Structures are given as structure tokens and as C-alpha cells.
Amino acid sequence: MDDELLALLQGLNEAQQASSAVRLGERNIIELVNKLQELGLTEKLIYTSDGREYLTEEQLRKEVRQQVVKSGGRVAVVDLPTLLSVDLSHCERQAAQITANEVDRFQMIEGEMISPKYFDGLAGELSELLQEVGKVEVADLAVRFNLSAEVLTNGIQARLGSQLEGRFESGQLYTPNYVARLTSQLRGALRAASAPISLATLATVALGGKNVASNSLVMSILEDLVQTNIATGQLKSGIWIPSIYGQAQSQGLASFFKQNGHITYAHAKKLGMPKPAEGLTARYPGGRALATSFVGEALIQEADAAVQEVLASATWCDLRMTLPPALTSEDVVELLKHCPSAQPPPASKTEPGGVTIVQEVYVVSGGFMQQCRAHAEAVGREVAAQASAAPAPSGKPSAAVTQEAPAAASSGHDSDEEFRKGGKKGGKKGGKKGGSGAPPPREPSPEPLPTKAEAKGGKKGSKGGKASKAPAGGGGGEGGKKGKAGGGAGKAGGAEESTGPSAEDLAAALEAKFEDLAEMVGDDGESLAQALATQVYPATLKAYATARRAVFSAGAEARRRRRDHEASATFLRRRNRRLPAAIHRCRCRQSVAEDGGGLPSASPHPTDAHRLLAAIPRESAAMVAKVNDATQGTSLGAQSITQLIDLVQEGAEEEGLRLKLLDKKVEKAMLQQHGAALQAQLAAAEAPSDALSLAIPLIISQVHRSAVSVPGRAIAQVVKALKGVVPDSVQSFLEDYNSSVVKHLTAQDATQLKTLQSKLPQLKAVAASPTTEI
């Protein structure tokens, strides 16, 4: 065995005998470290994600800080585990601790650690970008730098003026040059504006037609310019009102007012005065604010002068001709309140010496009103004279005058019952008509038949007249509350009657006297003459009534003398009770209106008439005999009836009685009532003769619309007269029935009676509808 081999063996032995280097395995080290941590001998250790390293929290924080700086001042926390090989939870914890303790050096923004240096660099980059493009939007920057707009905005605003030159406005960055150029353009536009213009429009115009209303920079610059008084003017609700415009408006308003002496509120508003009444009053203390205009002192004096002139000359004037046409009627009325001369005296505004305002625009002097009133009274007297002189059919026009006077209303106490009933109805009707408010155009009635009803109507009418400031007894009918109840004296009693001249007549008369009145027409279409006529109409009526009363008084004296001849009041009552019986036959033919709805009683027999005539005093006996003769001997022709009525009326006048004029409507109502009564009686009648005597008047009332009383012996003639009016079958039936009744009455034949009774229902049917064929 050579030496080399021995040496090698020795070497092997030595190598195997040599002690091993102490080297712990990873697993052992891990176990050791864990043991140490369990025992609390070391601080908390964090091991890397690859499991090869342990590191303390302080070391991790240090590495995190270094990593943020290494990443340019911004690193996402989620990237730290990759970069540091440490679990994310440890990275997040340490990052949160760092940002909490070192606020000025690190910020945790949306899961990223960002140091201020990052924004410094960002500002520098933005500054370069701004110089290139002029303006940059934060939204674009946010996308570009992957930051929220808010964070970016805060970072930019903190460095504006120091590291970043530019202007930041509503999410946009502008270079100073851009802002300066824009400011210059807008300043020029503001200074050039001469009329109100909205800022949006102004900016659009100034920037070459671009719609920049939504650009807040432009609006911001504009507001800055306005606030810094670079351009004089006011900004109201987004409208730029240059000072020069306000001055021009003010000058225009002053100029207009100076030239015209007045200005309407509408015009003042156009000239930039929002509250013209207050503004003008404060500006011109001497002027007056009217309803729609403001007038100067000069204009008031001018109007006052016109009023004074009217007063001095006792005429009238239209203030609209004097005042500017822009003033409305309301203005004129208010203006007159400010005219010292136009102020009405405390007692009455129509006193002589004062003025009357007619139709709100006409100033009428008291003297002129006096003239009108005098003329109106003259007209009233003239009409009264004409009415008194006109030949009335009754020949006694004075009677109508008697009853239309209010004082004479009480004189109707001697009228009989018939007249009183008719008077009440007439009064109601007159009241209704009077309540219609129509003016009382009354022509003197050619046939006045005054009754008590007329007097009542007049009385009630006087109340209505009072309500409407019409003179008492003036005919009423001018409206008013009471006028509805009884103002219509003109129609009272259902007859036309005279109440004096109408307002239209009076207006025409005034126009005829004062020709210049006719041209004046007010705003409501009423002429000045009509208005004046309305004013003086009561005086006219008063004059008219006075004149008529005077005429009546003359006739009343004559009647009173006649009455003195009467023997006694008892005889007068008897006469009054019997006289109507004498004249009843003609009146029955003419009207049932006076009868109160009852069937006319049978006419007196000629012998009874003679007996009655004997009982009548001599003064009246001649007339009554005349009437009686006329009724007895005259057939009922139309002409004779008229003559008979005239005769009766004449007799009644002489006796101091009043006969009421017929009223068609009352007659119609009475006719219906009469027919209904006949119908009822006919239905109840069982005797053939009675039924026939009821059926014939009923048929006549239906076919001729007249209420008649047919005596038994006249039935045959009446049935003959029905020929051609009713069907032939009806007429022949009636003739047969009449002849059968006559036969029955003369012969008292029982069989005839049965026949008649069997035909009785047919007779009733014919009476119910006489125009129907049977």
C-alpha cells in the first residue's frame, strides 16, 4: 500500500472524524422562530409570501414607504403584496398606519397611497399640458391619470398659482392667457351694451356666436366684471342693464312728462319704472297719481281752469276734450276730485254755483243745470196741457188726472166693490210692469178710465219712485225695489193712461234747445242730453203732475157741487146699487172683468126696470132711462155697443162714478174662469133646460172667446148664429135639442124629457168641444 493510498485513507478518516458544521435547516429555523414568538421573546414577525424571510412591522413600513417613493409617489395597496412579497392584509394594515401617522407625507386615496410629491409632479405635467392645449378638462385628466375628479380637483386647486399657472373653473383648467382674452372680450361687450341684454346672449354675441351660456367660466368672468364695476350698470336676474340705458329711460320719462304733463303707467313701465304710481309721486310731488296715469300739476290746473270757465259761463264742457286722450274716464273722475273748482258743495252737488259731473266726464255748471231743469219743467207743463186739451173718448180727461195724482189716491173710497177688486188686480199687474225697470214713456191716454186700482198703482209706484229718487207721484216705474211691487202706475187697471213726457222726449227736447248736446255721446252710448234728461226728469214729472192736478182740481170742483145735491148718503148707496143693475146688460156683453168671476145675473125684466127707474132721483132718472131704452131697444151691434158704453160712461161721470177700463188679460183670465164655472155647473146640471142654458154660453165662450149671458128666449137666435162657426152636425144637434126643450117646457111631455135626458151626455160633450163633429 503506497503512501498516497494511506494518506487518502487517513484523509477519509479525518474527514469523517471532523465535526459537522452546525447548520440549522429551514424547517428548524421556522420552528425555532415560532417557538420564540410563542414564548414572546421576539416582537411580532411577518413572513414573506415565499416563506423565505421574516420581517418586522417596522421593516415592512419602511419598505412600504420606500416602495411609494420608488413608484413615483403613488402606489396601489393591492400592488404592495407583489412588490414586497408580503401578504395583502399586512400591507393594508401598515399602509393605513402610515397614512394615519404621516398625513402630510402620504394619503390613502381610493386604495392608493399617494404622496404630495405625486401631485407636484402631476401639476408640473399639467402645466406643460395646459401650455400646449390651452384648456384641459378635469374629466379628461381623471381618465388619464386614473384618479377621481374630486381628488384631482383638490390636488389642482392646492397648487394653482404656485406650481400650476392657470384658472380653474367648474372642472376646467384654463391658461391665464385664455382667461385674459376672454375677459377682454366680455368686458368690451359689457361696455358696448346700450340696452338690457341677458348675460347669456351677451356672451354668445361677444364670443362670436358660440353658445357659451353653459360655460361657467364665461358667466363667472361676467359676474366678476359686473362686481368690479369695470362696466357701469346693474345685473338683475341675469339681465345686464347698462347705466346708459337707465339714464336714457329716465330722461325719456322726464322728457315725456315735461312735454305732455302726464304719463300713463303703462308707458312709465315701458320706460323702466316698475312702480310708476309711487315712483312718479316721489319724483314729482306736485303731480297726482290717477287710476291709470300720473298727471302733473299743470294739467290739474288746466282742468280746474276749464271747470271754472264752465262755472263762469254757466255752460258745460267735455273734460275729455280738454285733457289728453290717454286719460281714461276713471282718470278724469279722479282728476276732477283734485280740481278745487269741481268739488261739490257739502249740501248738494247740483246747487247753483257748483258743478255736476255727468257721465263721469262732462262737467255741467249749476247754471246750465238750472236752465235744463227750467226747460224740462216747461216741457212737463206743455205736455200736461196737451194731455188735458186732447179730446178723450170719455170726454172727461180730467178724471184721469184726478186719479194719477198721489193725493187723489185716497179719493177713491166711494168706488164700489167691483172696482176695488179690479183695482187690486190691476195694481198687481201694474206693479209687475213697473218693476221691469223700463223708463216710463207715457203718452197721454186717449181713453183714460181712472179707477181706484189706478190710484193704488200710483201710490205704490210712488214708493218705487222714491227708491229710485224719482219724485213722489211721478208715475213710478223707474225701477227700484218698490217699483216691482207697485211702480207701474201706467198700466194699472189694465188701461193706458198718461204719466207725462218720457225721458226720451225730454232728451229730445233738451237737444232741440241745446243743439250741441246731441253730439255728445258717453262711453256707454248714452248721450249727454239723455243723461241730463235723466237728471231733470223728476222735475219734469213734478211739473207735469202739478199741471195735471191743477186741471183736475177744476173738474173736481164741479163734481163736488153736483154731489152736494144728493139727498142723503143712504139714497146714494141705493142708487149706486141699482144703477149697475140697469147698465149691467151692456157691460155683460163687453166685459166680465168687473164682475169678479161670477156669472152675470139675469137682466132685469122691463117691468122691473121701470120700477127701478121710478125709484131713481130725477136728476139721474133721465140718463138711466136713456140707457135702459138703449139696451132694451137696440140690437147688440158693435156700433151700438160702443155708443152704449159711451152713454153709460157719460152717465157714470155725471154721477161721480168711475168705470174701469177693460183689460184684455184680465178678461182672458176671467173668461177662463167663467168657462170653468160654466163647465162645472153643466156637469152638475141634470135638467135639460138648465143644461142647455149653460151649454150655449159655454159654447159661445169657446168659439167667440167672449163671456155672454144668454136668456132662454135668445137661445134659438144664438144657436142660429152659431152656423158656420161650429160644424153643421153640432149646430143641427143644438137646434134639435133646443126645439125639444121648448116642446118639453110647453107640453110638459114626460117622454120628451126622457129623450132629452138621454141626449144630455151628448150635449155636455158638445159643450166641452163644440168644434168637433158628432
Partner 1 sequence: MEGWDSNTRETVRKIPLLTINAGPRDGEEWGKRLKEELKALIGFVQSNKATDNDWFQISPADKTGTKWKGKCWYVHNLLKYEFDLQFEIPVTYPSTAPELELPELDGKTSKMYRGGKICLTIHFKPLWAKNAPHFGIAHAICLGLGPWMAAEIPYLIDQGVVVHKDNQAK
Q: Rounded to whole angstroms, how far apart are CA atoms 203 and 207?
A: 6
Neighbours of 158 (CB within 10 A): 15
Q: Which of 270, 205, 276, 209 is nearest to 240 (CA)?
A: 205
- Least distance to partner 1, CB of residue 6, Å: 10
22 makes contact with partner 1 (CB under 8 A): yes
Residue type, 728: D
Whether 148 contacts 110, CB under 8 Å? yes
Candidates 13-21, 73-81, 126-134, 598-606; binding stretch for partner 1 (CB under 8 A): 13-21
Residue type, 668: K
Query: In this chain, which of 3, 16, 27, 633 binds partner 1, going by CB under 8 A?
Result: 16
CA angle 485–486–487, rounded 5-degree value? 115
232 makes contact with partner 1 (CB under 8 A): no
Nearer to partner 1, 34 or 251 (CB): 34
- Least distance to partner 1, CB of residue 30, Å: 16
DSSP annotation of 346 reads: S
2 makes contact with partner 1 (CB under 8 A): yes
Q: What is the dihedral of CA 465, 470, 475, 480, to 10 degrees?
A: -30
- Least distance to partner 1, CB of residue 27, Å: 12
Whether 264 contacts 326, CB under 8 Å? yes
614 makes contact with partner 1 (CB under 8 A): no
- Least distance to partner 1, CB of residue 52, Å: 16
1 makes contact with partner 1 (CB under 8 A): yes
Residue type, 100: A
Query: In this chain, which of 3, 18, 469, 524 binds partner 1, going by CB under 8 A?
Result: 18
How many CA atoms are closer than 13 Å to the CA of 152, on its beta-carbon side?
Answer: 22
Whether 612 contacts 621, CB under 8 Å? no
Q: Which of 661, 733, 731, 740 is nearest to 703 (CA)?
A: 731
50 makes contact with partner 1 (CB under 8 A): no
Whether 179 contacts 225, CB under 8 Å? no
Let me know if 749 is exposed, middle or buried by CB neighbors in 10 A (0-12, 13-18, 19+): middle
CA dist 348 → 317, 344, 363, 404, 532 (Å): 20, 7, 15, 30, 16
34 makes contact with partner 1 (CB under 8 A): no
- Cell representation of residue 1: 500500500
703 makes contact with partner 1 (CB under 8 A): no
638 makes contact with partner 1 (CB under 8 A): no
- Least distance to partner 1, CB of residue 33, Å: 18
Query: In this chain, which of 3, 19, 162, 607 binds partner 1, going by CB under 8 A?
Result: 19
27 makes contact with partner 1 (CB under 8 A): no
- Cell representation of residue 190: 359689457
4 makes contact with partner 1 (CB under 8 A): yes
- Least distance to partner 1, CB of residue 9, Å: 6
Nearer to partner 1, 15 or 638 (CB): 15
Neighbours of 73 (CB within 10 A): 19
Nearer to partner 1, 17 or 259 (CB): 17
26 makes contact with partner 1 (CB under 8 A): no
Scan residues 234-263 and list those touching partner 1 (CB under 8 A).
none
- Cell representation of residue 765: 160633450
The residue count for binding partner 1 (CB under 8 A) is 18
Candidates 3-11, 57-65, 333-341, 475-483; binding stretch for partner 1 (CB under 8 A): 3-11
Candidates 19-27, 127-135, 335-343, 556-564; binding stretch for partner 1 (CB under 8 A): 19-27
- Least distance to partner 1, CB of residue 48, Å: 21
Nearer to partner 1, 9 or 96 (CB): 9
Nearer to partner 1, 8 or 721 (CB): 8
- Least distance to partner 1, CB of residue 20, Å: 5
Give the interface with partner 1 as residue ranges (CB under 8 A).
Answer: 1-2, 4-5, 8-9, 11-13, 15-16, 18-24
